[in-house]
Amino acid sequence: MALVVTGIALLLTPLSATPKPKAPAATPELWEMSLDGGRKLSWEHSFNSEVEVRPNRGFWTKLVNVIAGEPEYHSLVRPYSIATDSRGRILVTDPGAAGVHIFDFTQHKYKFIQRTGKDKDSMLTPQCIAVDAQDNIYVTDSDAGVIFVFEPSGKYLHTLGSLKGGEGYFKRPTGIAVDSAAQRIYVSDTLRDQVFILDMQGKVLQTIGKSGDAEGEFNLPTELRLDGPNLMVVDAMNFRVQVFDRSGAFQYAIGKIGDSTGAMFRPKAVSIDSEGDIYVVDALWGVVQVFNRQGQLLYYFGSKGTHAGEFQLPSGLFIDHDDRVLVVDSFNRRVQVFQYVGLKTPPREGLQ
């Protein structure tokens, strides 16, 4: 079935003829894409600061704000990766602020996790993030070479991969995924071109892959995502997403290098919607491309820019259980939230 995309002046162009994905023409602050079968994707909102979580302020709060000034709200500085937990809270790593922002729009609460100035196990460059079934928070630190584990409240629990002398076991840990049922943690070490499988105490049980471009080999793997029985790995400089089963056996890959629509140039993150379609965000082009399991492009959205639905160096992507598509728009210092409304049907065919 051919994909029919009818958005606001949105027309997909032939794949091979387009040097770069063209941005869907969109009303700057409110747009919606109508997809085939009645599916649609709409831009909901964006946020970049603690202040947007806070409830409406009362008279006294406003008075104090006038007299003493607004508090110094935390803002996104250089956000990178994103995840949500079972409570609907949105967790964003921010290497620029050396911390993790937790936005709770339901409870109107905000928390900033930071761990600096410690003699041991200071959090230097929080990179990617994942949560387990208890909503404990796992953060890779690409500079410290370790994984920090925090309680849902943000209280520090322990560090995985910390060696004697303060050095980290990993050379550059980036992507992380937690399989609570199997009690396994998956970590990509970008400089080692490997994915490590750890137990919950941080003991290395197995590694996946080696340097190379063959199936099951990596060239700077960056981000991980669990998808049912599978593990997805963003194999950045092989310009693809590789899919393994949870024992590390290669299953399939999507993506290819190129400068046309459907190809990947700087894939940064991957996520899966409720219909099993695979979303890959590309930092250099500023787009999110949506593929089916066969690697066929279904559609894409975004372009370079600063308006709603436009990105500058997007780096993180996460789709929650409600099919909210959260995109970390890093250089614009914000997170953009899209709502996908699907049909909960089996995967679709892609554009030919």
Partner 1 sequence: MRVSLRVAGFVQAGLLLLAGPVAAQVKFGEASTNANGTISTGYTASYGNLTGSTHSWTVGGAANFAGSFYNPNFLSFNVSPYLNQSQANSNFQSISDASGVNATANIFAGSKFPGAFSYSKAYNSEGNYAVPGLSNYVTHGNSDTVGVNWSENLPDAPSFSAGFQMGSSQYSVYGTNDAGNNAFHSLNLHSGYKWAGINMGAYYTTGGGHSLIPQVVAGTQTTEIHSDNNAYGFNAVHLLPMQGSISAGINRSAWNSDYLGATSSGTIDIVNTLAAVHPTEKLSLSAAANYSDNLSGQLIQSVVAAGGVVPGFNSNETSDSLDLTALASYTPLPNLQTSAFFERRTQSFLGVDYGVKSYGGGATYAHTLLDGNFNASLTLTANSANNTGQDTLGFSTTENYSSEILGWHVTGSFGYAQNVQTLLVTYMNSFYNYSGNVRRRWRNFNVSAGAGASRTALTQQAGTANSSQSYNANIGYGAWLTATGSYSKADGQALATGAGLVPVPVPSPILPSSLVSLFGGNSYSFGLSSTPVKRLIIAAAYAKSTSNTSSDAVASTNQNDQMNVLVQYQFRKLNFTSGFARLEQGFSGSGTQPEVISSYYFGVSRWFNFF
Q: Which listed range, 20-28, 66-74, 124-132, 187-195, lies at the site for partner 1 (CB under 8 A)?
A: 66-74
Token pair recorded at residue 13: 């162009």
Residue with tokens 């709060």: 61
- Among positions 1, 2, 17, 68, the unique one binding partner 1 when judged by CB under 8 A: 68
Closest to partner 1 by CB, 61 or 294: 61
Give residue 306's identity as a one-letter amino acid code: T
Closest to partner 1 by CB, 51 or 200: 51
d(CA 23, CA 28): 12
- Among positions 14, 55, 58, 69, the unique one binding partner 1 when judged by CB under 8 A: 69
Name 282's bridge partners. 267, 287
Q: How far is the CB of 210 from partner 1 (least distance, A)?
A: 37
65 forms part of the interface with partner 1 (CB under 8 A): yes
Q: How far is the CB of 121 from partner 1 (least distance, A)?
A: 13
Q: How far is the CB of 141 from partner 1 (least distance, A)?
A: 20
Q: Which listed range, 1-9, 62-70, 195-203, 244-252, lies at the site for partner 1 (CB under 8 A)?
A: 62-70
Closest to partner 1 by CB, 154 or 216: 154
d(CA 223, CA 241): 9
Token pair recorded at residue 327: 């995109």
Token pair recorded at residue 32: 């919606």
Token pair recorded at residue 50: 């603690």
Q: How far is the CB of 57 from partner 1 (least distance, A)?
A: 13
Count, residues in the chain:
352
Q: How far is the CB of 155 from partner 1 (least distance, A)?
A: 19
Biggest distance spanned by C-alpha atoms of the chain: 64
Closest to partner 1 by CB, 69 or 346: 69
119 forms part of the interface with partner 1 (CB under 8 A): yes
Q: For the range 194-197, what are the long-range contacts, defined as Cβ-Cβ under 8 Å and sequence gap of 24 or more?
A: 194/218, 194/221, 195/221, 195/224, 195/231, 195/233, 195/244, 195/248, 196/170, 197/248
Token pair recorded at residue 231: 């593990």
Q: How far is the CB of 157 from partner 1 (least distance, A)?
A: 20
Q: Is the alpha carbon torsion for 131, 132, 136, 139 positive or negative?
A: negative
Q: Are strands 250-254 and 267-272 parallel, antiparallel or unpaired?
A: unpaired
Q: How far is the CB of 64 from partner 1 (least distance, A)?
A: 8
**Total H helices, total E strands in the chain:** 1, 26
Alpha helices in the chain (DSSP H): 59-68
Q: Per-residue x/- mask for partner 1, residues 274 to 313, rule CB under 8 A?
A: ----------------------------------------
Closest to partner 1 by CB, 65 or 183: 65
- Among positions 1, 2, 17, 67, the unique one binding partner 1 when judged by CB under 8 A: 67
Instruction: Give the binding site for partner 1 (CB under 8 A).
Output: 65-72, 119
